[in-house]
Amino acid sequence: MNPSLSYTLLFVAAALFSIGLAVVITKRHAVVVLMGIELMLNAVNLNLVAFSQYDPNRLQGQIFSLFVMIVAAAEAAVALALIIQVYRHFKTVVLDDLTNLKQ
Amino acid sequence: MLQIAFFAFIILTLIGALTVLITRNVLYSAYALLLTLLGVAALFVFAGADFLAVSQIIIYVGGVLVLVLFGVMLTSKPTTSDTSTVVASERPNAILAGSRGLWLGVLLAGGLFFGLSRLLLNAHFVLFDQPISNAPTTIDTIGKQLMTEYIVPFEIISILLLVALVGAGYLAKKSIKL
Task: Please list every residue in chain A whose beta carbon sits closer than 8 Å to the beta carbon of residue B160.
Answer: 70-71, 74
CA proximity to B33, closest of B4, B77, B66, B55: B66
> Which ipTM did the prediction report?
0.92
3-state secondary structure of B122: helix
A25 to B108: CB separation less than 8 angstroms, yes or no: yes
**Residues 6 or more apart in contact with residue B58 via CB below 8 angstroms:** none
Q: What dihedral angle (degrees, nearest 10) is formed by the CA atoms of B114, B116, B117, B122?
A: 130
φ/ψ of B87, rounded to 5, equals -65, 135
pLDDT reported for residue A103: 53
Task: For residue B82, name the pLDDT band (cuts at 50, 70, 90).
Answer: very low
By Cβ distance, the residue of B18, B49, B165 closest to A62 is B49
Q: B25-71: per-residue pLDDT in tens?
A: 899 999 999 999 999 999 999 998 999 999 999 999 898 999 999 98
Distance from CA of A53 to the nearest CA of B (A): 6
Residues B96-135: b if buried by 16+ CB within 10 A, e if exposed: ebebeeeeebbebbeeebeebeeeeeeeeeeebeeeebee
- Classify residue B132 by its DSSP letter: P
Nearest Cα to Cα of residue B52 among B66, B62, B42: B42
- Burial of residue A88 (CB within 10 Å: 0-12, 13-18, 19+) is middle
Residue B100: which of A15, A26, A53 has the nearest Cβ?
A26
pLDDT tens-place string over residues B117-168: 999 999 988 888 888 877 788 899 999 999 999 999 999 999 999 999 999 9
Q: What is the mean pLDDT of chain B?
A: 85
